[in-house]
Structures are given as structure tokens and as C-alpha cells.
């Protein structure tokens, strides 16, 4: 019996675990290590952040799911990977530290035959002085952060009902943030809620982002087919902000957040300030900080991980200029080039380069989005990696045979713009491929037939349905495989 060890139980880790166990059955062991006791459907945290859902509606306990599926679960965080074993044994292992109350702080070694790193990101609030829910801004990155944010929004609403005017700032809290989509959804849900609460006239809502233009979203923007004509996502997005009366600041690196004021540098190198009464600012991401050691105990972290802490896989990480990169440089199997039994999926793998063009201020400050790797792409690459490993463990293959390159993958995204069953809206977007290919599609970088954007009530209904569908799937309920990644 061989063992597959999966680090992380988010969208990527949970997807990989369920698919792997389904393929491996009782012949092999699947072990999941996660510091969290609950699974969180993160896309719905924005609804928790405006009071439309409670934390228990976007979470469920992991242990019962793993018990019924025959997956071993350890509530713990991974500290270090030892891909060659150590001086006592050649068996590769991971050192973990338990986080559950019964064994908190205790460490243990778990050996593996195959390893999937699906740890996701560290929320690097410390990259910006004063950023974060424990300091001077709020977050919707976790369900508990979102609940705290909702409470603050309620308090602000009460003050506006008394006639006080307030400024709300929502967006990214650093020049290299990713996941602009979460902030995009949140600002439109906040705007919708303030209208519903009859205090919209008392609110000045400001978007601040490291994007070069609205609609960049870390993917370099896109041309979309909409209503029989082609337009750029910048025009589409600017129209949404204008219609909702939301002001915007782009090309911004937030360098400090004080109690009611943020300081930012723009791409022109100018330092500016913005006063606020409420700020929800997303942090930049990094790897979770795992170390790696060889058999002799030497630190090989820099050989396995990029400088940002994400794991190096089968992409081209040579230092080419941005204009010299091609879609073929992106990873396709997510296998470590040095240790063939190690894979990294979801946010845990290191992207070889930015999708949006890197921009730097005259002061040398990088101000551009880093590549998003969440949601649908995370699930697809996790499933393919799990199937590849299962084939190798079952003796059906010796190398990965399935690929999931973002350069050959399409994606669909439904971004909530107001959670109302009869008058809510959502932006429904599709794109193909995720990584633009200007050699194949010289005018737009993507196939227009599969790249589109619309906004309407139907999108909200679909997003609401998908909330329940994906939680149903993650619980491994009957016919869970019918729900796509």
C-alpha cells in the first residue's frame, strides 16, 4: 500500500483528495493535512461580509467528510518537506505541527510516496504597514474576517442613518496583490446593500487598485464579445462603476494604512493620501513558509520554492523579459522538476511570470497584479494532478499523462454585484485561454467565441445555485462527481 499525502484542504486540496480517493479506493492511502478544522467556500465570503450569509452557511467540518470517505485527516500545519528522507531513513516525509486542541504544538513526521502541495497562500498583511483586520482595515479573505467586516459595515450603516456621511474604500492593499475579483465583488455588494438600507446617498464609495486600468483583474484585461460587438473589459468595467456611482483609483500601491487614512504611491511615483471611515483592503499573497531539507539536513528551500514561497513546478522560470514569455512557459502537470513524486496545485504553485504587464514607479516600486490561480482553474489542475498520481500509484503510468495548463484552459467566473433574489445582479464572464496567446489570436490574445461578459439577474441565480452545488460536492455527497470543478 502506497500513501498520497495532501497538504491543504481548500478548493484545490479537497478536490485532489476526493478524486484521488475515488481512483485509489482501499488499495492505497490518502492522507490530508490542514491547519483548519473547517472547509470554507471562499467565494461566498463576500456575502458574509455584507450580512447576507452567516459563517456556518459557507463552512462545514472536515473530519466527518474524511471519515466517511476513508481519508486520513490530521488537523495540523506543514512545517518542512524532506524529499530524500533524513540520516535515519530514505523515506521522504513532511514534518507537521498539530493545531487541534488535543495535540496543539506537538510535532510529527508523516512519510509519503506521493505529495501534493495545496497549502494555498499566506495572507501577507504585514507587507503593508497597518493593513489587516487586527489593525486598521478589514478583510473578506476568511469567513471570520468577513463576519468581522459585516459587523463594522452594520455599525457604519447606523451612523449613516443618523445623517452622517461616510467614505468607504475597497480594493487592494499592496502594489503586488492578486484576487482583485474578490474586492470587485465586495464593493458592488456593499453598494447594493447601502441602496437597500436607504443610506446610499450618505456614502462616498472609492475603489483603489494596483491594476493599470479597471478590468485588468490580473489577467491583463480582455476583449469580450457582448451584445453582438467587441469591447475591452476596461470599458465594460468602467461603465459598471459609473452606473453605480463608484469612484476609482488605479495604478496604486498602498504603502501604509492608518486608523482613518491610507497613504499610497501611484505609478507616476507620487505619494498621496485618502481619508476613509471604512476600508476593506485585500492583502498580497505569499507561500505559507514551508522549508525543505535534503538527506544530509541541508536547507534546500530555495531549490524547491520561488522567492515568494510558492513551489517551483514544470514551468519555465528562466529570467526572460515580459515580452519574451510565451504561453508554453506555463506549467502543465504541476510536477516538481527535481522530485517527480511531488506536485503543487492551486495557489501553491509558483507562476513563471505575470499575466498583466509588470509596471514600476520611478521610485522602483512594483505596481501591478500578480496572476490569479483560484476557483475553477484550481479545481481543474487539482483533479488532473490527482488522476495522474492515481494512475502512477496503480501502475497504469510512469509519468503524468493528463495536462492542465492555464495556457490551454478556459475559465468561467460569476462575480456577484448584489445579492438580491429578485433584483440582484452578477457579472458572468468566460475566457479562453486564461493565459493570452497573441501568436494564435493576434488581435485579442483570446478566442472571442469563448470570451464574453454579461451582467444580469440570471447571473446571480447561477452564482447562488453554485454556492450550494460546490458545498454539496466538497462534502462528498452522492454523485458529487457530477458537479464540475
Cβ neighbours for 471, distance < 8 A, ≥ 6 positions apart: 41, 58, 60
Confidence band of 481 (pLDDT split at 50, 70, 90):
very high
**Complete domains list, the chain, with CATH:** 3-123+286-407 (3.50.50.100)
Mean pLDDT calculated for residue range 428-437: 94
- Give the pLDDT confidence score for residue 92 in this predicted structure: 98
Report residue 358 as a C-alpha cell.
Answer: 509588470
In terms of DSSP bridges, do strands 3-7 and 114-117 run parallel, antiparallel, or are they unpaired?
parallel
% of the chain exceeding 70 in pLDDT: 100
Closest CA to 434 of 394, 462, 407: 407
Distance from C-alpha of 472 to C-alpha of 483, rounded to nearest angstrom: 9
Q: Taking all residues of the chain, what is their mean pLDDT, rounded to a whole number?
A: 96
Mean pLDDT calculated for residue range 403-430: 93
> What is the Rg, in whole angstroms, of the alpha carbon atoms belonging to the chain?
22
Helices 376-393 & 11-24 angle (0-180, nearest 10): 30
Distance from C-alpha of 140 to C-alpha of 46, rounded to nearest angstrom: 6
pLDDT tens profile 361-416: 999 999 999 999 888 999 999 999 999 999 999 999 999 999 999 999 999 999 99
- Give the pLDDT confidence score for residue 70 in this predicted structure: 98
Distance from C-alpha of 109 to C-alpha of 127, rounded to nearest angstrom: 31
Give phi and psi for 54, each to the nearest 5.
-105, 160
- Residues 355, 219 contacting (CB under 8 angstroms): yes
Query: Cα torsion at 171, 172, 177, 180 (round to 10°)?
Result: 0
- Give the pLDDT confidence score for residue 95 in this predicted structure: 98
pLDDT tens profile 212-226: 999 999 999 999 877
- Give the pLDDT confidence score for residue 373 in this predicted structure: 87
- Give the pLDDT confidence score for residue 224 in this predicted structure: 87
Whether this model's pTM surpasses 0.75: yes
Confidence band of 27 (pLDDT split at 50, 70, 90):
very high
Report residue 49 as a C-alpha cell.
Answer: 461580509
Closest CA to 282 of 7, 46, 469, 19: 46
pLDDT tens profile 82-130: 999 999 999 999 999 999 999 999 999 999 999 999 999 999 999 999 9
- Give the pLDDT confidence score for residue 335 in this predicted structure: 98
| Residue 447 clears pLDDT 90, i.e. is over it | yes
pLDDT tens profile 147-194: 999 999 999 999 999 999 999 999 999 999 998 999 999 999 999 999
Amino acid at each position: 500500500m502506497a500513501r498520497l499525502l495532501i497538504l491543504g484542504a481548500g478548493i484545490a486540496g479537497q478536490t485532489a483528495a476526493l478524486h484521488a480517493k475515488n481512483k485509489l479506493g482501499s488499495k492505497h492511502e490518502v492522507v490530508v493535512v490542514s491547519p483548519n478544522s473547517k472547509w470554507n467556500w471562499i467565494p461566498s465570503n463576500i456575502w458574509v461580509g455584507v450580512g447576507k450569509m452567516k459563517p456556518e452557511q459557507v463552512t462545514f467540518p472536515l473530519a466527518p467528510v474524511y471519515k466517511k470517505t476513508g481519508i486520513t485527516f490530521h488537523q495540523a500545519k506543514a512545517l518542512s518537506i524532506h524529499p530524500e528522507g533524513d540520516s535515519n531513513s530514505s523515506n521522504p516525509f513532511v514534518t507537521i505541527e498539530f493545531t487541534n486542541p488535543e495535540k496543539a504544538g506537538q510535532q510529527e513526521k508523516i512519510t509519503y510516496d506521493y505529495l501534493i502541495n495545496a497549502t494555498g497562500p499566506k495572507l501577507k498583511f504585514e507587507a503593508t504597514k497597518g493593513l489587516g483586520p487586527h489593525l486598521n482595515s478589514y478583510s473578506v479573505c476568511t469567513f471570520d474576517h468577513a463576519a468581522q467586516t459585516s459587523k463594522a459595515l452594520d455599525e457604519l450603516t447606523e451612523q449613516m442613518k443618523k445623517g452622517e456621511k461616510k467614505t468607504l474604500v475597497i480594493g487592494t492593499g499592496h502594489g503586488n496583490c492578486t484576487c482583485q475579483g474578490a474586492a470587485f465583488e465586495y464593493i458592488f455588494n456593499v453598494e447594493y446593500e447601502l441602496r437597500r438600507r436607504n443610506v446610499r446617498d450618505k456614502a462616498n464609495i472609492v475603489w483603489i487598485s494596483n491594476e493599470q486600468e479597471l478590468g485588468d483583474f490580473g489577467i491583463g484585461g480582455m476583449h469580450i464579445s457582448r451584445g453582438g460587438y467587441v469591447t475591452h473589459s476596461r470599458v465594460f468595467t468602467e461603465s459598471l462603476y459609473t452606473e453605480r456611482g463608484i469612484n476609482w483609483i488605479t495604478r496604486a500601491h498602498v504603502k501604509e494604512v492608518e486608523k482613518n487614512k491610507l497613504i499610497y504611491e501611484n505609478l507616476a511615483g507620487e505619494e498621496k493620501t485618502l481619508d476613509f471611515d471604512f476600508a476593506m483592503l485585500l492583502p498580497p499573497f505569499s507561500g505559507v513558509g514551508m522549508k525543505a531539507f535534503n538527506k544530509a539536513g541541508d536547507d534546500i528551500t530555495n531549490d524547491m520554492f520561488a522567492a515568494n514561497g510558492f513551489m517551483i513546478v514544470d514551468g519555465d522560470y528562466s529570467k526572460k523579459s515580459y515580452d519574451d514569455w510565451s504561453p508554453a512557459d506555463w506549467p502543465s502537470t504541476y510536477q516538481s522538476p527535481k522530485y517527480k513524486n511531488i506536485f503543487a496545485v492551486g495557489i501553491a504553485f509558483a507562476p513563471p511570470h505575470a499575466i498583466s504587464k509588470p509596471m514600476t514607479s520611478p521610485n522602483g516600486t512594483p505596481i501591478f497584479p500578480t496572476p490569479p490561480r483560484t476557483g475553477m482553474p484550481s479545481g481543474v489542475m487539482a483533479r488532473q494532478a490527482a488522476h495522474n498520481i492515481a494512475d502512477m500509484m496503480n501502475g497504469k503510468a510512469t509519468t503524468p499523462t493528463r495536462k492542465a495548463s492555464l495556457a490551454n484552459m478556459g475559465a468561467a467566473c460569476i462575480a456577484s454585484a448584489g445579492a438580491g433574489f429578485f433584483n440582484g445582479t452578477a457579472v458572468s464572464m468566460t475566457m479562453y485561454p486564461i493565459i493570452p496567446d497573441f501568436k494564435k489570436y493576434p488581435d485579442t490574445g483570446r478566442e472571442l467565441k469563448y470570451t464574453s461578459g454579461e451582467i444580469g439577474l440570471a447571473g446571480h441565480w447561477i452564482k447562488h445555485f453554485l454556492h450550494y452545488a460546490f458545498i454539496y460536492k466538497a462534502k462528498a455527497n452522492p454523485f458529487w462527481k457530477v458537479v464540475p470543478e
